[in-house]
Amino acid sequence: MKAVRFHQHGGPEVLRYEDAPDPVLQPGQALVRVRACALNHLDLWERRGIERVKIPLPHISGSDVAGEVADGPTAEIGRRVLLQPGVSCGRCQACLEGRDNFCRHYDVLGYRSDGGYAELVTVPVQNLVRIPDHLGFPEAAAFPLTFLTAWHMLVSRAGVKAGEQVLVLAAGSGVGQAAIQIARLHGAHVLATAGSDRKLALARELGAEAALDHHRADLVDEVRKLTDRRGVDVVVEHVGQQTWDRSLRCLAPGGRLVTCGATTGPAASLDLRWLFGRQLSLLGSYMGAKGELLEASRWFFDGKLRPVLDESFPLALAADAQRRMEDSQHFGKIVLEV
């Protein structure tokens, strides 16, 4: 098969479009012919190298995949599917309780296993999610990881409620555009940040009632003005070190900050008096369970949630696609079409 692999860590130039061995189908797995694979920041970190994580080389990235089942259980062959990006053992207590993202053996497709930057990929049969015929493969590939992550953050961890104020940082990111839509779906009012006039306008189109330029605006002051000095009930944080302090200061008394990432760095400080004095909650969030993906997918299939597609590239130009993501030129999901 053709695939994009890297044999050493480095910049986009280490990505090679080349022949690679076809994946070997194991019992309990399905072989999927990839039609589209969406990018995530995880792809960039894998390529650059992650501290204390050994990425097997040569490596095929890609966690967000849609395609057709080429081999596996007879009943599944030929089906159009998107893939649950979280891979778990399926046998431990957490998996059997429907909390597969707490599995001790949990992995993300394309992280320490080969992923979707290829013509073929194997996954456990339980990771197949059938998609309706009216959905295109690029749209289907753009949905799973970011919408699952945002759903777990807002619904399962933060418990967002109708009428609450939610601040979504970096609205142009995959998680950001998903979080705006999920918060609005649950009746919340959304404030969003972005880094350009184009992205601010697109955030408003998705349902943000106010959009702030995080390069120019005094975020804390603007949020207080927009909330009558109260602050917001929930902050969706995934930027990390660069925004952490401001995110905390944007919270109303009793507010919740939920975080799933640290794109700008992992170091953060915290004044404990601010935490207990305002009775704040800090919530960590990582991926989400398959049941949550199935729940969110119902809204996707009905057209109530829709991933924003930025630009598509052929698989051979994966390096160009990653450069676009590194330069923060995108709003929504960048997709490789196979």
Same domain, 124 and 170: no
Same domain, 92 and 152: no
Structural domain contains residue 293:
no
Calculate what percentage of the chain has a pLDDT beyond 70. 100
Tell me what pLDDT residue 262 has.
84
pLDDT of 7 over the 90 cut: yes
Enclosing domain of residue 25:
2-143+307-337
Taking phi first (over 0 means left), then psi (-120 to 50 degrees means alpha), and beta for anything else, what does residue 123 get? beta
pLDDT of 254 over the 90 cut: yes
Cβ neighbours, 10 Å, residue 298: 10
Structural domain contains residue 296:
no
Structural domain contains residue 117:
yes
pLDDT digits (tens, 9 = 90+) for 109-135: 999 999 999 999 999 999 999 999 999
Structural domain contains residue 300:
no
Same domain, 111 and 228: no
> Which residues pair with residue 196 across a beta bridge?
none
Structural domain contains residue 228:
yes
Same domain, 161 and 256: yes
Instruction: State the number of CA atoms in the 13 A half-sphere of 332 facing the CB.
Output: 19
Structural domain contains residue 11:
yes
Structural domain contains residue 292:
no
C-alpha closest to that of 121 among 170, 178, 62, 79:
62
Rounded to the nearest 5°, which phi and psi values hold at 88? -135, 175
pLDDT band at 18 (very low <50, low <70, confident <90, very high): very high
pLDDT of 235 over the 90 cut: yes
Structural domain contains residue 302:
no
Same domain, 163 and 245: yes
Same domain, 65 and 97: yes
pLDDT digits (tens, 9 = 90+) for 146-168: 999 999 999 999 999 999 999 99
Tell me what pLDDT residue 48 has.
96
The domain tally of the chain equals 2
Q: How far apart are the first and last CA of the chain?
A: 11
Same domain, 136 and 157: no
Same domain, 66 and 197: no
Identity of the residue numbered 111: Y
pLDDT of 1 over the 90 cut: yes
Same domain, 72 and 97: yes
Give the residue with greater pLDDT, 238 vs 148.
Answer: 148
pLDDT of 195 over the 90 cut: no
229 contacts: CB under 8 Å, gap ≥ 6: none
Same domain, 30 and 127: yes
Query: C-alpha angle with apex 74: 70 to 79, nearest 5 degrees?
Result: 50
Same domain, 188 and 126: no
pLDDT of 30 over the 90 cut: yes
Last residue of a domain, one of 269, 284, 299: 284
- How big, in percent rounded to 5, are the helix, strand and coil portions of the chain? 30, 25, 40
Question: For position 207, which CATH number holds?
Answer: 3.90.180.10
241 vs 293: CA distance, rounded Å: 29
Q: What separation in angstroms does the CA of 286 have from each of 13, 79, 165?
A: 30, 29, 22
Instruction: State the number of CA atoms in the 13 A half-sphere of 279 facing the CB.
Output: 3
pLDDT digits (tens, 9 = 90+) for 59-97: 999 999 999 999 999 989 999 999 999 999 999 999 999
Tell me what pLDDT residue 214 has.
81
pLDDT band at 319 (very low <50, low <70, confident <90, very high): very high
Tell me what pLDDT residue 105 has.
93
Mean pLDDT of 185-214: 93
Tell me what pLDDT residue 309 has.
95
Element (H, E) at 217: none
80 contacts: CB under 8 Å, gap ≥ 6: 66, 67, 68, 130, 131, 133, 135, 137, 140
Does the model's pTM come out above 0.85? Answer: yes
Element (H, E) at 308: none
* Average of per-residue pLDDT values in the chain: 95
Tell me what pLDDT residue 328 has.
86
Same domain, 200 and 253: yes
- CA-based Rg of the chain, rounded to a whole angstrom? 20
